[in-house]
A and B are shown apart, each in its own frame.
Chain A
Amino acid sequence: MALLTYIGAITQALEEEMRRDERVFILGEDVGVEGGVFKATKGLFQEFGPERVMDTPLAEGIIVSAAIGAAMAGMRPVPEIQFVDFITPAMDAITQQAAKLRYRSAGTQTCPLTLRVCYGGGVGGGLYHSQTNTTWFAHEPGLIVVAPGTVADAKGMLKAAIRQDDPVVYFEHKKLYRSIKEELPDDTDFVTDLLKAAVRRPGKDMTLVSYGWTLQLSMQAAERMHAETGADIEVVDLRVLNPLDKDTVLESLAKTGRLLIVHEDHKTLGIGAEIAAIAAEEAFDCLDAPILRVAAPDVPAIPFSPPLEKYYLPSVDKIVEAATRLLHY
């Protein structure tokens, strides 16, 4: 067993997978000599050299495209997007190429790559270093999109993604990098199911669905509610945003009758909207109350000044308030 941070788990997963399979290589901006701006690839350049930990030109489009082509030709690339805010030049590569290559070639050409994307707010990063934008990719069939919210998943999902024969967009939350720690087993085959959500806290009074950093907030909110009111909230870690694991969510809803969804992405057409629609479509009889969402407001991006950022982001207080309303409906 070893005590790891979320970012430490990412580094360890990369290191183990690169040792296991020499087809695995990393490419991106500042990933090599510098070891990444957040140090996620720290030490890998020294161990594996400049060919397998490639510092690339500052051009997200070709970073992802080169990974697609290399994956087609038999490699297992792990490109990095330094901040999701800068992913837009790669949108054609991700949505038109990676997501559609298998489909448009009827499975004869594929691109098993793992696109690591750093995202999320709460660190004073301002408009262009704090965005979430997970929904853009959840909307693209052909991509597997994951957003680990625990240290174990940070490692297990990354390793599973690298071994998966599909393009995976792996969202890693920068606020989680060094704020959570976990003991993980010394197992170089420690992988997490890439297609399943996870129940993090069993409960009977309400289903609370979240992912990423807001999963941690949701857990805190559930504990506080339990301590203050005795309410038992079941927390579901969505963790896979595409394709959604509907069954785990609806199974929980069938048990609790109440549904609250929390995410850091915008409210309109966010993951919460899809989960609410699925619940209405497939579990209408299970609903004892309206479905509520705690999400970022529909403003273009996360503002910089601390009061503005605080207003923008979900918080334990906001979750407790919504959960209280829902329980009292």
Chain B
Amino acid sequence: MTAKTKERAAEAVEPNGKKGFSLISDEKLLQLYSTMLKCRMMEERARILFKQSKFSGNYYAAVGQEAAAVGTAIDLLPGDTIGPSHRDFITNFIKGAPLHKLMCQLYARVDSPDQGRSSPAHMGYAPLNVITPSSTIAAQLNIATGVALANKMLKNNCIAMAFSGDGSTSLGFWHEALNFAGVNELPIIFVCQNNMWAESVSLALQTKVQDIALKAQAYGFPGIAVDGNDVVAVYRVASEAIARARKGGGPTLIECKTYRWYGHSEIDPGKYRPAEEVERWKAYDPIVNMEKYLAGKGLYSDDLKLEIVAAFNKELDAAIEIADKSPFPDGPDALDHVYSFSIRDRALSTKTWKPKY
């Protein structure tokens, strides 16, 4: 993290020089905190389950980045749409998807939202408008842009929020989406979680500019860089962007400067990153940051944390038990949901033809 982002964090935490002053309700501050904590717990549990071979495939933890996802998405309404990337599994939880659905997704069971089709971390949830992601980077921005177009045409007061990382900003798709959203003044918020590494490729090899937020200028709408490990700062920026989008003011690009604690995935030890860098960012933990902020307002106690942890561990246990008991899909289920009509008969047919002449 640069000195510059530290300054921004300090400004956000202590506006107007009054320590702890905030226009955000205590209830909301506590919700931001507890949601981050639960996301952390859920992902750390997922990592353990993966290491225990309770599920296969892979997992892409956003541990360390919780403030970015929670701060931007926590106030979205059920009708709003999220376009997640592979590292945004937690956005399903933030949007309100039941915990056991998340666990069934990891376990690839019939009770997962996609009945075991997508990879564990690639979760969407139709009832709350979380787009089921593909693995092709930045595609979710483009689709979310289309959703925003429909929202505008239908005048339904809904918005879209698309998540991506620093790596995605190099793709043509990313720019096509932002350009289209800008031209058509769409109700969409692009959240770039700049964690400085696209798998093993550093930010310096990804872009020549210091702030990805600058790129929004080229598309004619605001781009704001924010300390992505300061959930209050993220929340403030997002609140303004959401209100603006809902009022027909058009898109916003929010760059959350943050860091992932672990490798790109559970099979990546992440050795390409200097140990000192990782440790420095771990010491700037968004959850601990928020604990300090809440403590300054007299809202935090260790007991509060223990209470949240104990209760949520129980919820996790129950959700995992449901996933454990949920059956795997049957092999031939692979033939379903190709079209609006079934192809089973066709695929399983053994019919042969005899001459009729």
Does A associate with B in a complex? yes
Q: Which residues of A contact B (CB under 8 A)?
A: 25, 51, 56-57, 59, 61-62, 65-75, 77, 89, 92-93, 96-97, 100-110, 141-142, 144, 164-166, 195, 204, 243, 246, 250-251, 253-257, 282-286
Interchain residue pairs with CB less than 8 A apart (29) = A56-B180, A57-B183, A59-B176, A61-B142, A62-B173, A65-B142, A66-B180, A69-B142, A69-B143, A69-B145, A69-B149, A69-B150, A70-B147, A72-B131, A72-B150, A92-B136, A92-B139, A97-B139, A104-B114, A104-B122, A108-B113, A109-B132, A142-B338, A255-B356, A282-B353, A283-B352, A284-B352, A285-B354, A286-B353
A75-B337 in contact (CB<8A): no
Whether a CB of chain A sits under 8 angstroms from the CB of B351 is yes
A182–B344 Cα distance when bound, in Å, is 37
Query: A164's contact among B118, B136, B145, B340, by CB below 8 Å, is which?
Result: B340
B173-A61 in contact (CB<8A): yes
Give chain B residues whose Cβ lies under 8 Å from the Cβ of A51.
153
B153-A105 in contact (CB<8A): no
Give chain B residues whose Cβ lies under 8 Å from the Cβ of A243.
339, 343, 346
Give chain B residues whose Cβ lies under 8 Å from the Cβ of A141.
338, 343
Report B175 CB to chain A, min CB distance, Å. 9
Asked whether A75 and B176 contact (CB < 8 A) given A69-B143, A96-B134, A144-B339, the answer is no
Query: B145's contact among A62, A104, A106, A256, by CB below 8 Å, is which?
Result: A62
User: Which of A69, A92, A254 is packed against the most chain B CB atoms within 10 Å?
Assistant: A69
Give chain B residues whose Cβ lies under 8 Å from the Cβ of A257.
355, 357
Report B112 CB to chain A, min CB distance, Å. 8
A106–B134 Cα distance when bound, in Å, is 13
B149-A166 in contact (CB<8A): no
Report B147 CB to chain A, min CB distance, Å. 4
Q: Which of B99-143 contact A (CB under 8 A)?
A: 113-115, 117-118, 122, 124, 126, 131-132, 134, 136, 139, 142-143
Q: Which residues of B contact A (CB under 8 A)?
A: 81, 113-115, 117-118, 122, 124, 126, 131-132, 134, 136, 139, 142-151, 153-154, 160, 172-173, 176-177, 179-180, 183, 336-341, 343, 346, 351-357
A141–B339 Cα distance when bound, in Å, is 8
Closest to B334 in A: A103
A106-B147 in contact (CB<8A): no
Report A168 CB to chain B, min CB distance, Å. 10
A62-B176 in contact (CB<8A): yes
A250-B143 in contact (CB<8A): no
Report A84 CB to chain B, min CB distance, Å. 19
Query: A102's contact among B172, B338, B353, by CB below 8 Å, is which?
Result: B338
Closest to B175 in A: A59
Report A240 CB to chain B, min CB distance, Å. 12
Query: A250's contact among B134, B145, B353, by CB below 8 Å, is which?
Result: B353
Query: B354's contact among A96, A103, A144, A254, by CB below 8 Å, is which?
Result: A254
Beyond known contacts A62-B179, A66-B180, A141-B343: 20 more, CB 8 A cutoff: A51-B153, A59-B176, A59-B179, A66-B145, A69-B143, A72-B131, A74-B154, A97-B143, A102-B337, A105-B118, A105-B124, A108-B114, A108-B126, A109-B132, A243-B339, A243-B343, A250-B353, A254-B355, A254-B357, A286-B354
B338-A67 in contact (CB<8A): no
Give chain B residues whose Cβ lies under 8 Å from the Cβ of A250.
353
